[in-house]
Copies of this chain bind each other. A is one copy, B any other.
Amino acid sequence: MAGENALNFQMIEAAAGRLAGHVRETPLLNSPFIDAIAGRRVWVKAECLQHTGSFKFRGGWSAVSALEGAGGVLAYSSGNHAQGVAAAARAHGREAVIVMPEDAPAVKIANTRAYGAEVVLYDRATGDREAIGAELAEARGLTLIRPYDEPLVIAGQGTCGLEIARQAAEAGVTGGDVIVCCGGGGLTSGIALALERTAPGFRVRPAEPEGFDDVARSLASGMIQKNNALGGSICDAIVTPQPGELTFPIMQRLCGPGVAVSDEEALRAVAQAFLRLKIVVEPGGAVALASALFQGDAIEGEDVVVVVSGGNVDAGVFAEAIRTYGDAA
Contacts and interface: CB of A to CB of B under 8 A. Distances in A.
Interface of A: 24-27, 29, 32-33, 48-49, 53, 106-107, 110-111, 114-115, 271, 274-275, 277-281, 311, 315-316, 318-320, 322-323, 326-328
Nearest to A24: B27
B328 A323 contact: no
19 contacts: A25-B27, A27-B27, A33-B111, A48-B278, A49-B279, A53-B278, A106-B328, A107-B327, A274-B280, A274-B318, A275-B315, A278-B281, A279-B279, A315-B322, A315-B323, A315-B326, A319-B319, A319-B322, A319-B326
B327 A323 contact: no
Nearest to A276: B53
A41 to B, nearest CB: 14
Per DSSP, chain A at the interface is: helix
Contacts of A107: 327-328
Contacts of A271: 315
Contacts of A110: 328
B311 A278 contact: yes
Contacts of A27: 24-27, 49
A116 to B, nearest CB: 9
Nearest to A110: B328
A114 B32 contact: yes
Contacts of A281: 278
Nearest to A277: B49
A323 to B, nearest CB: 5
Contacts of A53: 278
Task: Across the A-B interface, give the 5 residue pairs with the lowest CB-CB distance, nearest first.
Answer: A315-B326, A278-B311, A319-B319, A278-B280, A107-B328
Given A322-B315, A323-B319, A111 B328 contact: yes
Contacts of A274: 280, 315, 318
Contacts of A320: 319
A278 B275 contact: no
Nearest to A114: B33
Given A278-B279, A279-B279, A318-B322, 14 more contacts: A24-B27, A24-B29, A27-B49, A32-B115, A33-B114, A49-B277, A53-B278, A275-B315, A278-B280, A278-B311, A280-B280, A318-B319, A319-B319, A319-B323
